Amino acid sequence: MNVDLLINAFVTIIVMFDPPGLAAIFLGLTTGMTRSQRLQVALRGTLTGAGILAVFAIAGASILGVLGISLGAFRIAGGILLFYIAFEMIFEKRHERQEKSAERAITKDHISNVSVFPLAIPLIAGPGAISAVILLAGSFYAPVERTALIGVIIAASVVLFATLVIADRLDQFLGATGRTILTRLLGVVLAALSVQFVVDGIKQAFATG
């Protein structure tokens, strides 16, 4: 087993996750939730994202090929979905809905929905991470090597989860005003990120078309 290859894979996946940036976005997405609810979202989102990446590590190229989906199209779709979330964050649509039902507790379904979309997809297991995993899988041929790659994905996911847990502590220092400002600023960042996904997808589609 090539140790340098494993280290390179770990670093690549961590860079794709961008734990500090994702932790900040996580705060905006989970506004109004308690600490325990945020931990549930973080755990479910991380496990779901890691599971998706593990599947693509094993049979990513085959899955897209069978469905007839190009990586460029996947990037475009992910960017559009992410832009919708960014729009809600910038104009506080999510916050308005929470104010109208201030007495309503956050349901388990809501926690599950947020943990799957947009946290697991496309923020954790997004086009960039999936692309990286598919490319990395090309260097891990044997079953044992593929197992090692999945182990790397799990290790990177543990680091990401720990970062999201720390983000919850940070929220205590922000307060209501700080959360509002942070949510809008991160909404702009998300909007730019989503546009970049679409641009990259269009470029890739034309390059392979």
CB 4 within 8 A of CB 136: no
Radius of gyration of the chain (CA): 18
- C-alpha distances in angstroms, 60 versus 28, 63, 113, 136, 157? 31, 5, 24, 11, 18
Q: What is the pTM of this model?
A: 0.71
Model pLDDT for residues 35-92, shown as the tens digit of each residue: 888 899 999 999 999 999 999 999 876 877 788 887 778 778 777 877 887 787 788 6
pLDDT digits (tens, 9 = 90+) for 122-160: 889 988 788 888 878 877 878 888 899 999 999 999 999
Sign of CA dihedral 19, 88, 200, 122: positive
Of the candidates 45, 4, 1, 44, which has an alpha carbon nearest to the alpha carbon of residue 22? 45
